[in-house]
Homo-oligomer: A and B are copies of this chain.
Amino acid sequence: MMTPSDVIAAADITFSCVSDPQVAKNMVFGNCGVLQEISADKGYVEMTGIDADTSQDIAEAISSRGGRYLEAQVQGSKVQAEEGTLVILAAGDRSLFDDCQSCFQAMGKNSFYLGEVGNASKMNLVLQVMAGVTLAGLAEGMALADRAGLQQKDVMEIMELTSLACPLMIEKGKAIIEGGFPTHLPLQHMQKDLRLGMLMGDTLELPLPLTAATNEVFKHAKRLGYGEHDVSSVYIRTRF
């Protein structure tokens, strides 16, 4: 078995992608962690969905030992990963971003360099907030349709012809109709991002009533046992 520090020692550039900010921090600062072996010729790319503060903490620790740090946040779920159409949002060390291009190309067709550490995390949370609210709205609309005696497949058929049609709505609408919720993007992953988005709004003193309401709905779905199901299972809470 290899420890994080073993991996750093063995590779020039290491990519990390774990479950949440706390685990990402443990990976770096923990026992036999990344920091132990990081040095001037090493690069560390954090791909975990994290907040800007966590990213800055990691960036400082790595820089202070001479290492290069890049935060690289991923937009897209299992479907996009399989298609190689993930979008990579990166910020931090520009030379490391350039060195990662071949890897990023393999994951997705598009990568963006957004400047200083934190910008990619923030951009990722902005997009996740918009996706979360949209999905909760989809679920609420589908529940309303069902309760009103409308066919949900009619809702989707019509929606695909309106200006609201996007791959996410169509894919998740189908998942709601089928009811199986196979996991492309775990619900608890999006709830974590909604929580981080709320903290971002708190820090910036920006009221976010929609995000706040959405976060509570996702929390409720998680509590009902759907944390590891697909994000579309938020529907279960809505139609409860």
Distance A159 CA – B216 CA, assembled complex (angstroms): 24
Inter-chain contact A137/B141, CB cutoff 8 Å: no
- Any chain B CB within 8 A of the CB of A36? no
Inter-chain contact A134/B164, CB cutoff 8 Å: yes
Inter-chain contact A133/B134, CB cutoff 8 Å: yes
- Any chain B CB within 8 A of the CB of A42? no
What is the oligomeric copy number? 4
Tell me the A181-240 residues at the B interface (CB within 8 Å): 195, 197-198, 200-202, 204-217, 219-220, 222-223, 239-240
A81: min CB distance to chain B, Å = 12
Inter-chain contact A133/B126, CB cutoff 8 Å: no
- Any chain B CB within 8 A of the CB of A64? no
Chain B residue contacts of A162, Cβ below 8 A = 75-76, 87, 127, 131, 168
Distance A163 CA – B169 CA, assembled complex (angstroms): 8
Chain B residue contacts of A210, Cβ below 8 A = 133, 136-137, 140, 210, 213-214, 217
Which of A8-16, A55-63, A143-151 faces chain B?
A143-151
Q: A141-B126, A201-B144 are in contact. Are A209 and B209 (CB under 8 A)?
A: yes
Distance A228 CA – B187 CA, assembled complex (angstroms): 35
Inter-chain contact A212/B216, CB cutoff 8 Å: yes
Tell me the A145-179 residues at the B interface (CB within 8 Å): 145, 147-150, 154-155, 157-159, 161-169, 171
Inter-chain contact A144/B216, CB cutoff 8 Å: no
Inter-chain contact A161/B215, CB cutoff 8 Å: no
Instruction: Indicate which residue in B126, B167, B204, B215 contacts A212 across the interface (CB closer than 8 Å).
Output: B215
- Any chain B CB within 8 A of the CB of A35? no
Inter-chain contact B148/A126, CB cutoff 8 Å: yes
- Any chain B CB within 8 A of the CB of A89? yes
Interface of A toward B, CB cutoff 8 Å: 75-77, 79-80, 87, 89, 110, 112, 114, 119, 122-123, 125-127, 129-134, 136-138, 140-145, 147-150, 154-155, 157-159, 161-169, 171, 195, 197-198, 200-202, 204-217, 219-220, 222-223, 239-240
Which 8 A-B pairs have CB atoms at the shortest separation, nearest pair first?
A133-B137, A166-B166, A130-B141, A163-B167, A163-B168, A207-B220, A212-B212, A213-B213
List 5 contacting pairs A-B, 8 Å CB cutoff, sorted by A: A166-B169, A206-B223, A207-B216, A207-B217, A220-B240
